[in-house]
């Protein structure tokens, strides 16, 4: 679908005074995205390192999280290999059961062969589930030693230290405050069949008992695909997950999360292996990739989102912003404006709306809500992307004034290209008459360049022009046709677009 709208001269038809929407660098958003991997499990599909690298690069993930095995040279080599491609690792350096000596061996590997490949170290994962006595005392001791070991070593001190993730609600209060021994609190806010991160405020409040006011990371989050389980940790269908998964990343960024790691990158076990190991179907279906490495719809949606917003953009020093209005926006609408290094913007719109009945275990339709995005300054081009359903643009507009977006449960991305003549990133530069090319939009043809105010001519020049038209009509034997430009009022009513039914020409109506 292609749409085109004319842009009259600013003096004749100025842009409305819409609020200034500040942008963030697109790279900042892309830099929050990571996935959980298990490269030490080289007897599973994770051992197919060529395929793992190719799929990670395709996905656009900038980070992986793995439990480090310093005695596994194949894992170390894989992390080095990814670092050379710009994908860095956050690594767990031990468990309560493995103890202090194991932690120090892992940290030596981080300082040695993995120097430059590791960007953060992580405390024990879910220690309140470990089969040890007095997990609280052991967890506190581990965290203090980890902090002192990292921050006391000049070769490691630059690395952030994450706190422990916890499962049970009461565990936060039992463990107590460790804010002096961590840089980031650590969350596992699994939605369990409800909307993405609708449990975040509660999770943040509980984790503050451990991490105080320190910033947060999410080291595990995601949905599994078992829609039959009656367990408290419910799943959703793959189709619903395709809508929910990109919204997790967007909601997390909106809530100030430094890193969001999806659990997990690929289902590690075949069905037979899963059954042999006694794992539930839920535990075996969290992967963005299936065990045969085919992508689930959630993988495709995340990949398309990262492409649409240019998550791999070069750094941007001054992201600026755009003057935009949102007419008809529902209370559950979210928005995010991102600036790419090439000067273009990505406007992401989504709704925090439910698409799954957790009790009934069935999808729920979200009625689309029409939202008009109103331009408060001139933009030369807008392109729409629907990352859940398409990998390329689904519509475009030249010199847009107003864009209707029907928002349901999936995020929508509008890529906005500022006009070269704009006076400033936040100000509305002068508009310019469009060309006279026509393009299809919504089953109608739209002609650009007909909304501009007619130029003023002297009476003599107007009489001469009419005479020439009479002469041409007489020579061709055709009836005389006069073209009347749209008035400014008519042009404004049509949103700066003059349209005609398909099948009729511009000059004969």
* Same domain membership, residue 398 and residue 296: no
* Same domain membership, residue 190 and residue 122: yes
Q: Which portions of the chain are predicted below pLDDT 50? A: 1-12, 421-465, 467-509
State residue 433's pLDDT score.
27
* Same domain membership, residue 182 and residue 65: yes
Residue 200 per-residue DSSP state: H
Residues present in the chain in total: 509
Would 460 be classed as within a structural domain? no
173: Cβ–Cβ under 8 A, 6 or more apart, which residues? 209
Would 415 be classed as within a structural domain? yes
* Same domain membership, residue 403 and residue 417: yes
Give the 3-state secondary structure of residue 490.
helix
State residue 152's pLDDT score.
98
Question: The tokens 């900038």 sit on which residue?
Answer: 62
Dihedral sign for Cα atoms in the order 105, 111, 112, 113: positive
Query: What would the two tokens of residue 479 be?
Result: 């009836």
Phi-psi region of 343 (alpha: psi -120 to 50; beta: other; left: phi over 0): left
* Same domain membership, residue 328 and residue 385: yes
Give the 3-state secondary structure of residue 127.
helix
* Same domain membership, residue 428 and residue 370: yes
Residues of the domain holding 207: 26-309
Rounded to an integer, what distance in angstroms lies between the CA atom of residue 485 and that of residue 463?
18
CB atoms closer than 10 angstroms to residue 208: 16
State residue 454's pLDDT score.
36
Give the HSE-up count for residue 39: Cα atoms under 13 Å, Cβ half-sphere. 31
State residue 427's pLDDT score.
33
* Same domain membership, residue 367 and residue 302: no
Number of helices followed by number of strands (H, E) in the chain:
12, 24
- Give the burial class of 133: count Cβ atoms within 10 A of its Cβ; 0-12 exposed, 13-18 middle, 19 or more buried: exposed
Rounded to an integer, what distance in angstroms lies between the CA atom of residue 494 and that of residue 122?
57
Query: Of the residues 423, 447, 471, which one is the last residue of a structural domain?
Result: 447
State residue 183's pLDDT score.
98
Would 52 be classed as within a structural domain? yes
Tell whether omega for the bond before 252 is within 30 degrees of 0, i.e. cis.
no
Helix 238-254 vs helix 297-309: crossing angle, to nearest 10: 40
- How many domains is the chain built from? 2
Query: What would the two tokens of residue 376 be?
Result: 């408060």
Rounded to an integer, what distance in angstroms lies between the CA atom of residue 482 and that of residue 468?
12
- CATH value at residue 249: 3.20.20.80
The pLDDT tens digits of the residues spanning 77-111 come to 999 999 999 999 999 999 999 999 999 999 999 99
Query: Of the residues 428, 447, 466, which one is the last residue of a structural domain?
Result: 447
* Same domain membership, residue 360 and residue 266: no
State residue 66's pLDDT score.
98
* Same domain membership, residue 202 and residue 301: yes
* Same domain membership, residue 93 and residue 37: yes
Query: Of the residues 262, 285, 309, which one is the last residue of a structural domain?
Result: 309
* Same domain membership, residue 330 and residue 400: yes
Would 499 be classed as within a structural domain? no
* Same domain membership, residue 357 and residue 269: no
Dihedral sign for Cα atoms in the order 496, 501, 502, 505: negative
- Give the burial class of 422: count Cβ atoms within 10 A of its Cβ; 0-12 exposed, 13-18 middle, 19 or more buried: middle
State residue 503's pLDDT score.
36
């Amino acid at each position: 679908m292609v749409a085109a709208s004319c842009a009259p001269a600013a003096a004749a038809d100025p842009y409305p005074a819409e609020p200034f929407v500040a942008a963030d660098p697109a790279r900042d958003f892309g830099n929050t995205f990571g996935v959980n991997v298990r490269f030490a499990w080289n007897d599973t599909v994770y051992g197919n390192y060529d395929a793992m690298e190719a799929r990670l690069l395709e996905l656009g993930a900038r980070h992986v999280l793995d439990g480090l095995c310093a005695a596994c040279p194949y894992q170390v080599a894989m992390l080095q290999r990814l670092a050379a491609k710009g994908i860095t690792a956050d690594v767990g350096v031990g468990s309560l059961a493995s103890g202090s000596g194991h932690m120090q061996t892992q940290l030596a590997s981080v300082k040695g062969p993995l120097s430059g490949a590791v960007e953060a170290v992580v405390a024990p994962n879910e220690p309140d589930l470990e089969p040890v006595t007095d997990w609280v005392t052991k967890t506190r001791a581990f965290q203090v030693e980890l902090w002192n070991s990292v921050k006391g070593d000049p070769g490691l001190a630059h690395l952030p230290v994450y706190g422990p993730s916890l499962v049970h609600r009461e565990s936060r209060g039992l463990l107590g405050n460790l804010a002096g021994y961590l840089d980031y609190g650590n969350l596992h806010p699994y939605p369990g069949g409800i909307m993405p991160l609708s449990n975040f405020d509660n999770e943040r409040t509980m984790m503050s008992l451990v991490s105080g006011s320190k910033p947060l990371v999410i080291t595990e989050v995601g949905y599994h695909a078992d829609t039959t389980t009656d367990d408290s940790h419910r799943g959703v269908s793959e189709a619903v997950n395709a809508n929910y998964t990109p919204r997790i990343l967007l909601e997390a960024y909106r809530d100030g999360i430094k890193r969001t790691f999806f659990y997990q990158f690929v289902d590690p076990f075949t069905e037979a292996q899963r059954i042999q190991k006694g794992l539930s179907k839920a535990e075996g279906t969290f992967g963005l990739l299936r065990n045969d490495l085919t992508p689930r719809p959630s993988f495709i949606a995340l990949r398309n989102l990262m492409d649409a917003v240019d998550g791999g953009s070069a750094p941007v020093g001054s992201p600026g912003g755009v003057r935009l209005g949102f007419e008809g926006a529902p209370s559950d609408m979210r928005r995010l404006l991102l600036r790419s290094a090439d000067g273009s913007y990505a406007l992401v719109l989504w709704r925090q709306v439910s698409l799954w009945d957790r009790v009934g275990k069935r999808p729920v339709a979200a009625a689309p809500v029409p939202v008009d995005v109103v331009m408060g300054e001139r933009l030369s081009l807008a392109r729409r992307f629907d990352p859940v359903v398409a990998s390329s643009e689904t519509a475009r507009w030249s010199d847009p004034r107003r864009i209707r977006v029907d928002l349901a449960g999936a995020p929508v991305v509008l890529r906005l290209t500022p006009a070269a003549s704009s006076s400033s990133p936040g100000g509305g530069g002068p508009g310019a008459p469009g060309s006279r090319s026509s393009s299809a939009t919504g089953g109608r043809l739209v002609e650009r360049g007909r909304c501009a105010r007619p130029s003023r001519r002297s009476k003599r020049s107007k009489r001469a022009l009419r005479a020439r038209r009479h002469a041409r009509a007489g020579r061709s034997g055709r009836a005389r046709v006069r073209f009347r430009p749209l008035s400014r009022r008519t042009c404004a009513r049509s949103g700066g677009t003059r349209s005609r039914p398909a099948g009729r020409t511009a000059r004969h109506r």
